[in-house]
């Protein structure tokens, strides 16, 4: 557990002001989980446990949501591949180092995302995309509860650590080799690229997209090729997944 909990993310005591934040926020979580294809869960850093777990099977590895909730962090040790378990420990520390440098009033505006491998219940490895966003802070500014969203990754391998701020075009990307954060510009899609993605999501073929947008199929192929290069993917399924995970649509 020391891979995941240390002085910067351990909470010793909660105040009455802290508890006033809660009311019935879990009702909102249940509603949100019913409306998304992603897996949703909540980490409680004071209890060092999972407070909420949605029924989406992607992150359950053959268990029920209640079973995974009861397993808590033992779930990671059982179902994350060994090499990626070490990576998650490292991400945890560099993420909280970054978080500590953010003004308290802005901390809930940031999201960290990364990719890691899960071992499914049939023994196969699945690369998932994981996003963590603060929901509640303690009175002193420590992270108390965070909502996590898990979907299939469009990347080729684990890592890909990024931090984004709500409404900001700048993305902080962590270089695991250089061991430092780098600032990069958020990817912007052209209207045509966005249109191709939206129609592809609806199941339109290249010829059907061309017909609907009044251009030649070769033009659609040209824009798709540029789109794949921009997103660093190799096919339209990966492009759709990447665009959805990174809120480009």
Q: Which of 6-20, 42-56, 65-79, 166-180 has the lowest mean pLDDT?
A: 6-20
Listed in sequence order, the residues at least 6 apart from 125 whose beta carbon sits closer than 8 Å to its beta carbon are 81, 117, 118, 119
- Mean pLDDT is lowest, of 16-25, 153-162, 187-196, 220-229, for 16-25
> Rounded distance, CA 92 to CA 166, Å?
21
pLDDT at res. 226: 92
Tokens 């446990």 sit on residue: 49
Q: For residue 194, give the nearest of 215, 224, 166 by alpha carbon.
A: 224
Contact 50, 41 (CB under 8 A): yes
Look at residue 247 and tell me whether its pLDDT is greater than 90.
Answer: no
Query: What pLDDT is recorded for position 13?
Result: 83
> Which conformational region is residue 54 in: left (phi greater than 0), alpha (psi within -120 to 50 degrees), or beta?
beta
Q: What is the tens place of the pLDDT at every residue in 112-158?
A: 999 999 998 777 899 999 999 999 999 999 999 999 999 999 888 99
**What pLDDT is recorded for position 211?**
93
CATH numeric code, 16-185:
3.30.450.20
Terminal CA-CA length for the chain: 37
Q: Is the pLDDT of residue 2 over 80?
A: no
Which residues 6+ apart lie within 8 Å of 149 measured at CB? 36, 38, 39, 40, 130, 131, 133
Average pLDDT across the chain, whole number: 90
Mean pLDDT score, 194-209:
93
Helix, strand, coil share of the chain (percent; to 5)? 40, 25, 35
Tokens describing residue 159: 């890592």
Range of lowest pLDDT (27-36, 104-113, 131-140): 27-36
Residue-level pLDDT at 9 = 80
CATH class of 191-245: mainly alpha
What are the sequence ranges of the domains in the chain? 16-185, 191-245
Residues 38-95: pLDDT tens digits?
A: 899 999 999 999 999 999 998 999 999 999 999 999 999 999 999 999 999 999 999 9
Rounded average pLDDT over 20-31: 79
């Amino acid at each position: 557990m020391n891979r995941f909990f240390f002085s910067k993310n351990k909470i010793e005591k909660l105040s009455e002001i802290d508890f006033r934040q809660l009311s019935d926020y879990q009702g909102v979580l249940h509603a949100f989980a019913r409306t998304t294809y992603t897996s949703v869960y909540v980490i409680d850093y004071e209890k060092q446990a999972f407070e909420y777990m949605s029924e989406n099977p992607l992150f359950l590895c053959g268990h029920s949501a209640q079973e995974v909730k009861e397993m808590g962090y033992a779930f990671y040790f059982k179902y994350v591949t060994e090499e990626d378990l070490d990576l998650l420990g490292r991400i945890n520390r560099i993420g909280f180092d970054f978080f500590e440098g953010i003004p308290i009033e802005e901390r809930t505006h940031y999201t960290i995302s990364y990719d890691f491998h899960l071992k499914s219940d049939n023994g196969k490895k699945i690369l998932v995309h994981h996003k963590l966003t603060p929901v509640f802070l303690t009175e002193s500014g420590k992270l108390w509860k965070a909502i996590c969203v898990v979907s299939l990754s469009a990347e080729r391998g684990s890592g890909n650590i990024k931090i984004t701020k709500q409404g900001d075009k700048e993305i902080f990307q962590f270089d695991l080799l250089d061991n430092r954060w780098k600032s990069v510009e958020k990817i912007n899609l052209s209207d045509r690229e966005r249109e191709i993605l939206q129609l592809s999501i609806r199941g339109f073929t290249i010829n059907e997209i061309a017909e609907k947008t009044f251009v030649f199929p070769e033009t659609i192929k040209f824009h798709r090729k540029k789109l794949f290069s921009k997103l660093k993917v190799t096919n339209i399924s990966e492009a759709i997944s990447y665009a959805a995970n990174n809120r480009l649509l």
